[in-house]
A and B are shown apart, each in its own frame.
Chain A
Amino acid sequence: GAVVSQHPSWVICKSGTSVKIECRSLDFQATTMFWYRQFPKQSLMLMATSNEGSKATYEQGVEKDKFLINHASLTLSTLTVTSAHPEDSSFYICSARYRNQPQHFGDGTRLSIL
């Protein structure tokens, strides 16, 4: 089956640093990748959608300068949380799809900002 790998699975860093999260589709070409944020006991909130080779489309209320998304190849997208602060602490999940096939999700990244 389709596999999406997300790295790192857990990261703790100091306030003010930048953190990069990688999302890779291991056995298919991901024409589109999605980034979600999930708060405890809540559903997933879509942050942005990225198509390979083009700029990401951000959802309303998501700061594009805070959450930088790069989709440089058909198998890799990265989310960089810039100048992270404690309120950015959350569970971040990526997903990937090939054309109109269902989305396949990574295992998520637990980000804790001290």
Chain B
Amino acid sequence: AQSVTQLDSHVSVSEGTPVLLRCNYSSSYSPSLFWYVQHPNKGLQLLLKYTSAATLVKGINGFEAEFKKSETSFHLTKPSAHMSDAAEYFCVVSPRLYNQGGKLIFGQGTELSVKP
């Protein structure tokens, strides 16, 4: 069975400080992993995706994530938070590698707040 756990429901940081959003996954197969961001009353925007051997994945808006198979983790980071980063973030797994568009399994989301 596949599952995704986002370890924090809410994270608050100050503008200019680093961001860490934690995600652990469980998958019987080599998965595809994604991070999506959702701003209020909007759909989801793809931040980055992991589908290959490159364990450090760079995404848009300065975000990156590191795939650690031994820890079954895919944490999202950003060196310096911006006010516009305040949003809901979803860690998502698609169970099979190279099937990036199959049925997605969503984490429960992490709300990121950025203080001025």
Contacts and interface: CB of A to CB of B under 8 A. Distances in A.
Interface of A: 4, 6, 32, 34, 42-44, 46, 49, 91, 93, 95, 97-108, 110
Interface of B: 34, 36, 41-46, 49, 90, 98-104, 106-109
A49 B103 contact: yes
Contacts of A103: 101, 104
Tell me the interface secondary structure of chain B in the complex.
loop
Tell me the interface secondary structure of chain A in the complex.
strand
B101 A97 contact: yes
A102 B57 CA distance: 15
A43 B105 CA distance: 10
Contact of A107 (B43, B46, B103): B43
Contact of A43 (B90, B98, B101): B90
Given A43-B106, A44-B90, A32 B101 contact: yes
The 10 closest A-B pairs by CB, nearest first: A97-B101, A105-B43, A105-B44, A107-B43, A43-B106, A102-B100, A108-B43, A106-B43, A43-B108, A100-B101
Nearest to A91: B41
Contacts of B104: 34, 46, 103
A102 B90 contact: no
A43 B102 contact: no
